[in-house]
Amino acid sequence: MTWHEDSRKNDGRMRHPTDSLAWKSFNSLYPEFSSDPRNIRLGLASDGFNPFRTLSVTHSTCPVIVIPYNLPPWICMKQSYFILSLLIFGPKGPGNNIDVYLQPLVAELHELWEVGVETFDAATSQTFQLRAVLMWNINDFPAYANLSGWSTREEYDCPCCGYNTASKWLKHSRKFCYMCHRRWLDSNHRFRTDNHSFDGTEEHRSVHSPPSGSNILRQLERLNGTEYGP
């Protein structure tokens, strides 16, 4: 469980989540947690599937899997190291009501982050207070909406752009179209001034920063009358 601290090759290449900017930023923000490499970094994956392997039966079973990322890359992605924390039976997917099923798991994760649990370390023959943090979610775009509560089928569907999402309602197609991708090009790219091939406009905006965690929390605090579950 301490491979990410003791044994990984640190040469600037991305081989494992521990090489990512998110991991390093978390270490700088929470030095007390990162000071003990035995504390666990987790990822959560959720998606529905048909267990009957036939398209003639409409059924969705939704597992919620927790993955410990302290392990090296050739181990952490093996099925034997996955933690099946929840199994939500069908016949229909939970949709937005998945928050009800996740409440016990969220409570345990909160306890592991705030307090931890006394654990025996076989390598040192000593007990210590083990803590854990949920670093990432792994899911497709529709499941992202169910887990995060951010709609991915409306005007502001991009979770990274948030309210800066540039969308346009197509009256006759009755759906939103998203035409803001040119802002990620270099400032001197010819596509930025090519109004004929795109939506009739030139793109001079710069890339904006994605919303931070504190910014998202402030948005959530302004919500009133939110209902959870069915």
Average pLDDT of the segment spanning 36-47: 92
Taking the C-alpha atoms of residue 210 and residue 160, their distance in angstroms, rounded to an integer, is 5
Confidence of residue 33 (pLDDT cuts 50, 70, 90): very high
**Rg of the Cα atoms in the chain:** 22
Report whether pLDDT(230) > 60. no
Report whether pLDDT(228) > 70. no
User: What separation in angstroms does the CA of 145 have from each of 192, 201, 227?
Assistant: 31, 31, 16
